[in-house]
Amino acid sequence: MKKAIIIGSGIAGLAAALRLKKKGYQVSVFEKNGYAGGKLHAIELGGYRFDLGPSLFTLPHLIDELHQLFPNVEVDFNYIKKKTACHYFWEDGTSFEAPADLENFAVKAAEIFDEKQNTLSKYLQNSKMKYESTKSLFLEKSLHKSNTYFSKQTLKAILKIPFLGINNTLDQENKKFSNPKLNQLFNRYATYNGSSPYLTPGIMSMIPYLELGLGTYYPQGGMHRISQSLFELAQKVGVEFRFRESVKKINHSNNKVTGVTTEKGTHDADIVLCNMDVFPTYRQLLQDIKAPEKTLKQERSSSALIFYWGIKKSFPQLDLHNILFSENYKAEFEAIFNNKSLYEDPTVYINITSKQSPQDAPKGCENWFVMINTPGDYGQNWENLVIKAKKNILSKIKRCLNIDVEELIDVEYVLTPQGIEKNTSSYRGALYGAASNNKFAAFLRHPNFNKTIGNLYHVGGSVHPGGGIPLCLLSAKITADLIPNTNA
């Protein structure tokens, strides 16, 4: 059998391992950590369970597809569809439970924000149009292969370009709403790819359709169950996992990959697929070839500062996903992207999986995943920033929810951009690789194949089509489609 080596067992690496196994390859996955899943990891602390990484689950069919590759192999994986996408709060007492349904969202948002229902409906239908018109080009194919551009679907997408908001920012697209709170709510979707709504192109207004049109879901057992179900499936179908074995070099000869060298030796392979961030990939594993400096110098996406709090009380007014908005959204993004600092009045995201999985917290308690958007690690004093951020977050919660939560914190764990980079090799702790802060960003991402070394491929959030669970899964699918079946 032909051999395939995968570097890294993040969600894209796991998906790629399954797809290459299906194609007949003998697959080995090398992982520096002692666990599979990358950012989709979890911890238990004092009777509380916390998902460490991504907390939003959309497009579950992408996970179903992977399980369906091996229909005779049983692995437990179930999920439910949420009726409420997110619960939003502002300091003036305004709150909005956003339905995960386009029609209901338009009706309820019109009432809460005193906006015309027709304006909302048109916006959401436009979001749907942008997604459906461009997904085949931007999300399902390599942008770096010429044959991508010779299909009817691509031609249709190109003809739609004048209507996609490419030349506007997301904020400009959202100015059609008379209520600034509604503008802010839709601007928030820029954070789904680690960008600023005041810089990212208006085509990103397609993102609400993913959540409100196609649905928001919760995997039973938490987000960690996503990665673990794929890991269990991969083990059952014969994928080899070599944990705590870091790859030190990608080997090649005559412009073709030959394998990898790890801490423990050299391993030959016909195919090498790298799930590592492209920046450390070139700087550490491919030091002997010319790196694509223009790509590596792209602006990095935002990172995050996350407090994992065990809370000794339950709050029925909160849901699985909750947002407490800043009073000055533009100033917050200027602080993150221009000043590489934290804003004193941050937008706070609170995820509480014990709302869906009561076993994630002791009875009468809740497990709070409390996150703010931050710049990546550029040498800031994170010890001081954590102290200031905690104070500002607690103050924000008190102003928005009228809850003095500090005395209720039972256990605490903190993850900074430095910790994210250490755990996942994401350069500067960026959550989504490169930011999408200009209209050409989609075309500037690293391709899913290596232009210098044959049979070397790249997947994950730092390459096409981008970061986040769905896009990482799509990167694995795009890449697997570039790799031929074996003759085994």
pLDDT in tens, the chain (488 residues): 899 999 999 999 999 999 999 999 999 999 999 999 999 999 999 999 999 999 999 999 999 999 999 999 999 999 999 999 999 999 999 999 999 999 999 999 999 999 999 999 999 999 999 888 887 767 766 666 666 555 666 666 665 665 666 789 999 999 999 999 999 999 999 999 999 999 999 999 999 999 999 999 999 999 999 999 999 999 999 999 999 999 999 999 999 999 999 999 999 999 999 999 999 999 999 999 999 999 999 999 999 999 999 999 999 999 999 999 999 999 999 999 999 999 999 999 999 999 999 999 999 999 999 999 999 999 999 999 999 999 999 999 999 999 999 999 999 999 999 999 999 999 999 999 999 998 777 678 999 999 999 999 999 999 999 999 999 999 999 999 999 998 64
Q: How many domains does the chain have?
A: 2
Query: Nearest-CA neighbor of 144 among 456, 479, 470, 448?
Result: 448
**Shared domain check, 34 and 183:** no
Q: Would 34 be classed as within a structural domain?
A: yes
Instruction: List all residues 6 or more positions away from 206 whose beta carbon is below 8 Å from its beta carbon.
Output: 127, 128, 130, 131, 134
What does the alpha-carbon distance between residue 441 and residue 451 come to, in Å, rounded to a whole number? 19
Helix (H/G/I), strand (E/B), else coil: 121:
helix
Residue 253 φ then ψ, to 5°: -150, 135
What does the alpha-carbon distance between residue 106 and residue 119 come to, in Å, rounded to a whole number? 9
Tokens of 466: 């981008």
CATH of the domain at 16: 3.50.50.60
**Other C-beta atoms lying within 10 Å of the C-beta of residue 347:** 20
Q: Would 441 be classed as within a structural domain?
A: yes
Last residue of a domain, one of 154, 186, 213: 213
| Residue 190, domain extent | 120-213
**Other C-beta atoms lying within 10 Å of the C-beta of residue 22:** 15
Rg from Cα positions in the chain: 22
What does the alpha-carbon distance between residue 423 and residue 246 come to, in Å, rounded to a whole number? 13
Sheet with 409-415, strands from edge to edge, namely: 95-99, 84-89, 321-324, 348-351, 366-374, 303-311, 409-415
Q: Would 124 be classed as within a structural domain?
A: yes
**Shared domain check, 139 and 197:** yes
**Shared domain check, 145 and 127:** yes
What does the alpha-carbon distance between residue 377 and residue 372 come to, in Å, rounded to a whole number? 14
Q: Would 258 be classed as within a structural domain?
A: yes
Q: Would 26 be classed as within a structural domain?
A: yes
Ramachandran sector of residue 361 (left: φ over 0; alpha: ψ -120 to 50; beta: rest):
beta
User: Tell me, what DSSP letter sits at residue 293?
Assistant: H
> Are the CB atoms for 336 and 343 separated by under 8 Å?
yes
Q: Would 128 be classed as within a structural domain?
A: yes
Instruction: List all residues 6 or more positions away from 124 whose beta carbon is below 8 Å from its beta carbon.
Output: 102, 105, 106, 208, 209, 212, 213
